[in-house]
Amino acid sequence: MVKAVVLGASGGIGQPLSLLLKASPLIDELSLYDVVNTPGVTADLSHISSVAKITGYLPADDGLKKALTGADVVVIPAGIPRKPGMTRDDLFKINAGIVRDLVKGIAESCPKAFILVISNPVNSTVPIAAEVLKQANVYDPKRLFGVTTLDVVRAETFVQDITGEKEPSKTVIPVIGGHSGETIVPLFSLAKPAVNVPADKYPALIKRVQFGGDEVVEAKGGAGSATLSMAYAGFRFAEQVIKASKGEKGIVEPTFIDLNGVSGGDAIAKETGVDFFSVPVELGPSGAEKANNILGSLSEDEKKLLEPAKTGLKGNIAKGIDFVHNPPPK
Ligand code: NAD
Ligand code: LMR
């Protein structure tokens, strides 16, 4: 039996993500939570003739607790999205508190669930989640993931212009670092099968993956950021976590984790000087079972990309941790 929960289920990501989860044969029970509109979204999805039994809750009458009780996987796309001209860090003021309070709920109601954080800025919201879980004495770093799959999906898609590969998702491209601008480090030199990115096309390709989010924000002209591609990416990652938890072997996905709590991660933390970082992670029944250190295999260009990524991440991570210990006055 697998129970999945979506927190922020009525939003631009939450609705299509809930649709994909409802349709998945991997899920037996799906619970939706949001501060608005969950009854309507739940009623609508409940007419789909898939296996998952669906329930939906608003905050009233202990709705968060009811949604979370018995959860195996909790996906969090709750929070405000960007408008043109904003950075992801501009979302911190509102989203930091939303993620903190939702993770407090997880600590109380389903402390052993896998937690998949989508809410931006991921570079800070994942450290926030970690600190909240630590304060509640229920922290298992192997079960906390920042979802960076959209960066991987973008890398697969955008390199297609060069490879001509008919099925872009067949080209596996690790993307490491964080999830915003220069903290996103795509590793085309490690693509499988190998891709040959011509030197004159390389800078634009890197920039497009790093700033792909801006492309969507601009195109939506104030109506939000990526939702449908994120729902696809979030579902793809959730599916892998669930499959691995059921014992499927050989599943490796880049994800933003607490390096010091995952086998193999401490060496990467030492090498980068950063505690939270996205690397390809071997997933298994207990979650993030091994962080793969691929830093030694980077090209010279990729090593250069790593420097601003590390600097940006250090600030974003420290800001998240500080928010939990020194919350701003209400
Ligand atoms: P949205 O505004 O369409 O939806 C957000 C939902 O969260 C809304 O339904 C809102 O009611 C709900 N919400 C707000 N406060 C809540 C709370 N306390 N509890 C439960 N629900 C709450 O936004 P969106 O486009 O779905 O984006 C959501 C978040 O995901 C944003 O922060 C965005 O930046 C982020 N995002 C991350 C990635 C990624 O790659 N990790 C990609 C795209 C978007
Ligand atoms: C993305 O990468 O599309 C998301 O992080 C949303 C954003 O703000 O760009």
Q: Pick from 182, 205, 80: which is nearest to 123 by CA?
A: 182
Average pLDDT (110-137) is 98
Residue pair 291/263 in contact by the 8 Å Cβ criterion: yes
Q: Which amino acid appears at position 240 of this protein?
A: Q
pLDDT per position as a tens digit, 139-196:
999 999 999 999 999 999 999 989 988 899 999 999 999 999 999 999 999 999 999 9
Which CATH code fits 3-146? Answer: 3.40.50.720
Residue 329 confidence (pLDDT)? 87
Atom 3 of ligand 2: nearest residue by CA position:
213
Alpha helix stretches (DSSP H) within 111-257: 122-135, 149-158, 160-163, 202-210, 212-220, 228-245
Is the pLDDT reported for residue 275 higher than 90? yes
Is the pLDDT reported for residue 307 higher than 80? yes
Share of the chain above pLDDT 70, in %: 100
Residue 330 confidence (pLDDT)? 77
Confidence of residue 245 (pLDDT cuts 50, 70, 90): very high
Domain residue ranges in the chain: 3-146, 149-317
The pick from 32, 34, 100 for probing ligand 1's pocket by mutation, whose C-beta has the most ligand atoms within 8 angstroms, reads 34
Q: Other CB atoms closer than 10 Å to residue 157's CB: what's the count? A: 17
Ligand 1 atom having least distance to the Cα of 33? 20
Share of the chain above pLDDT 90, in %: 98
pTM for the full model? 0.98
Which DSSP category does 136 fall into? T
Q: Which CATH architecture has domain 149-317?
A: Alpha-Beta Complex (3.90)
Q: Any idea which residues carry the catalytic annotation?
A: 179
Tokens 């090498």 — which residue? 271
Average pLDDT (4-33) is 98
Q: Are strands 287-291 and 276-284 parallel, antiparallel or unpaired?
A: antiparallel
Asked if residue 193 has a cis previous peptide bond (ω within 30° of 0), the answer is yes
- Two tokens at 223? 């109506």
Backbone angles phi, psi at 254, to 5 degrees: -65, 135
Close Cβ partners of 163 (under 8 Å, ≥ 6 residues apart): 171, 195
Residue pair 216/225 in contact by the 8 Å Cβ criterion: yes
Confidence of residue 94 (pLDDT cuts 50, 70, 90): very high
Confidence of residue 135 (pLDDT cuts 50, 70, 90): very high
DSSP character string of 17-69? HHHHHHH-TT-SEEEEE-SSSHHHHHHHHTTS-SS-EEEEE-STTTHHHHHHT
